[in-house]
């Protein structure tokens, strides 16, 4: 029998660890950003880790807090739909897909930081998994994401988003991340927990 505290830790272990890592790197400011950001010239010179590490550093405090808020919101909305192992696979795969897509399809982009592209992938994957579990209302969430992506491709960043982030919003990263989130079609979903199972675990 697991306690509510243990259950909470298990359910939110990934956002907890990821938040701690991002905040820790954020304390190093520009030093961490320069060393870890997506830098096209550096990647082409062999620093391939930047395709992954770029998503862990941010433009500043407001950008960091925005992305952490998005991360926790995703976990509250669709976190139970996939196992921690599946979420880890998604995090790594979507970060790599987003970075590679920027490298291939955005040759004009010199550098990039932030978790927002990966967050779009996590949200899409989680929503797909939640729908596969039988939660039809999640179609509304998935539809909102598709609408947002369409808006960004046609009209640019949402009003106020660049001011909030403290810099240019790379909307193509959101699109690439969301497309990577289609991996949610292939990952095994968690069974929806019944009320009796929930009460017995307390």
Q: Give the relative orientation of helices 116-132 and 84-105 as an angle to the nearest 10 degrees.
A: 130
pLDDT per residue as tens digits for the range 88-143: 999 999 999 999 999 999 999 999 999 999 999 999 999 999 999 999 999 999 99
pTM: 0.92
Question: Given the structure tokens 């669709």, which residue do they identify?
Answer: 78
Under a CB-based contact definition with an 8 Å cutoff, are residues 148 and 175 in contact?
A: no
Q: How high is the pLDDT of residue 1?
A: 60
- Sorted by sequence, the CB contacts under 8 Å of residue 133 that are 6+ apart come out as 81, 189, 190, 191, 192
Q: How high is the pLDDT of residue 135?
A: 96
CA distance 167 to 178: 21
CA distance 7 to 86: 18
Report the share of the chain in percent with pLDDT over 90: 88
Question: Which domains are assigned to the chain?
Answer: 4-200 (1.20.1540.10)
Of the candidate ranges 9-18, 56-65, 170-179, the one whose mean pLDDT is the lowest: 9-18
Instruction: Tell me how far the alpha carbon of residue 169 is from its chain's centroid.
Output: 15
Handedness of CA 46, 106, 66, 62 (dihedral sign): positive
């Amino acid at each position: 029998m697991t306690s509510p505290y243990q259950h909470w830790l298990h359910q939110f272990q990934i956002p907890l660890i990821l938040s701690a890592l991002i905040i820790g790197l954020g304390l190093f400011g520009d030093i961490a950003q320069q060393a870890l950001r997506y830098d096209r010239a550096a990647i082409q010179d062999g620093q391939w880790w930047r395709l992954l590490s770029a998503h862990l550093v941010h433009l500043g405090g407001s950008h960091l807090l925005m992305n952490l808020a998005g991360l926790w919101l995703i976990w509250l909305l669709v976190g139970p739909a996939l196992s921690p192992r599946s979420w880890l696979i998604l995090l790594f795969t979507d970060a790599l897909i987003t970075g590679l897509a920027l490298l291939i399809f955005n040759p004009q982009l010199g550098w990039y930081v932030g978790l927002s592209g990966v967050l779009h992938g996590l949200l899409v994957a989680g929503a797909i998994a939640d729908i596969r579990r039988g939660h039809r209302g999640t179609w509304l969430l998935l539809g909102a994401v598709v609408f947002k992506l369409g808006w960004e491709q046609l009209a640019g960043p949402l009003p106020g988003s660049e001011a909030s982030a403290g810099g240019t919003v790379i909307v193509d990263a959101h699109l690439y991340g969301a497309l990577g989130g289609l991996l949610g079609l292939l990952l095994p979903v968690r069974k929806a927990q019944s009320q009796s199972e929930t009460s017995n675990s307390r």
